[in-house]
Amino acid sequence: MNSFPRLAVLGSGKGSNFVALQEAIAAGRLEARIVLVVSDLPDATILARARTMNLPVATLPPSPFRTKLSPEGELALVELLRKNEVEWVVLAGYMRVVKEPLLSAFPNRVINIHPSLLPAFKGLRAWEQAIAAGVKETGCTVHYVNQDIDAGEIIAQRRVPVLPDDTPETLHARIQIAEHELFPEALAKAFRAAS
């Protein structure tokens, strides 16, 4: 076993960013170990992909709230992460707001990827917001997570053009190509900064 940073990846969707991270690790481009993949949705594709890679997976208990875990759920998540000796919490398409006690349990060690050039287009479906705003350029951002939504310190960003005939789907696909390159690089930068 190596002494690389121990990551938990949290996601609610198809998990393409998780796969990009695991591929970067396998290729030696990112010195890290994914020790746990967690989802709030038992049917999320990210869990199926993690299982095919023989990585440990966990599902969070159902929450009465759509956008966040219950306080008990958040506490159970912290306990799960501690039990697995997780050092960094990586949000890869995790669609719930992260709150206390998780943020205090992992100070400056919760990192998110967001599909816009923050501070522009915070919140949901940022690529649709970019099309609606008529901008010629958008992108993606990797940032530390704090108590304010999509507002923590920025680690790295990558720019992506918005083309005249873009649909939400074509633009999101282009942003995701940039995300898959940016995320491992930005995590490596954060690990260096913490060491």
Residues near ligand GAR (CB under 6 A): 11, 13-17, 46, 92-93, 113-115, 126, 176, 179
Tell me whether residue 143 is one of the annotated catalytic residues: no
Nearer to ligand GAR, 76 or 178 (CB): 178
Nearer to ligand GAR, 80 or 97 (CB): 97
Beta strand pairing status for 33-39 and 6-10? parallel
Neighbouring residues of 23: CB distance < 8 A, sequence distance ≥ 6? none
Length, in residues, of the chain: 195
Minimum distance of ligand GAR from residue 88's CB (angstroms): 17
Nearer to ligand GAR, 124 or 193 (CB): 124
Q: Which helix (H) or strand (E) holds 43?
A: none
Bridge partners (DSSP) listed for residue 159: 139
Minimum distance of ligand GAR from residue 182's CB (angstroms): 10
Sign of CA dihedral 34, 122, 124, 79: positive
- Which residues are known catalytic residues? 114
